[in-house]
Amino acid sequence: MSAVVKTATPFINKELLLQALKNIGCNFTLQGNDILTDRKDYYGFQKFSLNNGRYVFLHDSSAEIGSFYMTQPNGYPWGNIKNQEYKSVSEFLKTVENEYQSLYQKKLKELELKRLEEEKRRLEQERIAFIEKQKSTIIARAKEKGYSVKEENVKGKIKLVLVRNTYSK
């Protein structure tokens, strides 16, 4: 016999956790570093509390089993999650975890896109800077050699028309 133990995804990112709660229909209020959910048990509102860099869900251990309170209006463990259906603590956490993971993946994609956009913008700036430098070099050299320079911009291209009266130089 061997044990298989899988821990839940640590909720590290507060922004993602709040969004996950919102997405699954769990109301919450912020209290210091705690996120108080609308799930109630014997000790009051069940909450996520920041502990060693992760949000840990705190609840009365009896809440997982179910009790008299479950049958009461607004009673615990919680009757509000989607379609008002009952979810035990572990089911609730699994739902939060799934949503958190989904948001996390989405966030990663957004960051990747943002990174690519930034990279693209950086390359574009590099190209523009190179062109500007090239243009300045050409104009300076042309002027040194007695050319007058007229600049035209046509459809993204820079056209430098260099004219020199060869009889004067």
Q: Is 45 in the site for another protein (CB under 8 A)?
A: no
Angstrom distances, CA of residue 108 to CA of 12, 21, 102, 156: 14, 19, 10, 35
Residue span 83-122 as binding mask against another protein, x where in contact by CB under 8 A, dash where not: ----------------------------------------
Q: For residues 34 and 48, is the Cβ–Cβ distance under 8 A?
A: yes
- Phi first, then psi: what are they for 91, rounded to 5°? -65, -45
Q: For residues 38 and 27, is the Cβ–Cβ distance under 8 A?
A: yes
Stretch that binds another protein, among 47-55, 63-71, 85-93, 161-169 (CB under 8 A): 161-169
C-beta of 9: minimal distance to another protein in Å? 46
Q: Is 143 in the site for another protein (CB under 8 A)?
A: no
Angstrom distances, CA of residue 130 to CA of 90, 125, 136: 59, 8, 10
Please identify, using beta-carbon distances, which residue of 58 and 162 lies nearer to another protein: 162
Structure tokens at 81: 């999650």
Stretch that binds another protein, among 21-29, 44-52, 74-82, 141-149 (CB under 8 A): 141-149
Largest CA distance in the chain: 107
Q: Is 4 in the site for another protein (CB under 8 A)?
A: no
C-beta of 142: minimal distance to another protein in Å? 7
Q: Is 140 in the site for another protein (CB under 8 A)?
A: no
Rule CB under 8 A: which of 117-136 touch another protein? 127, 130-131, 134-135
- Phi first, then psi: what are they for 54, rounded to 5°? -140, 155
Q: For residues 84 and 26, is the Cβ–Cβ distance under 8 A?
A: no
Residues that bind another protein (CB under 8 A): 127, 130-131, 134-135, 137-138, 141-142, 145, 147, 150, 152, 154-167
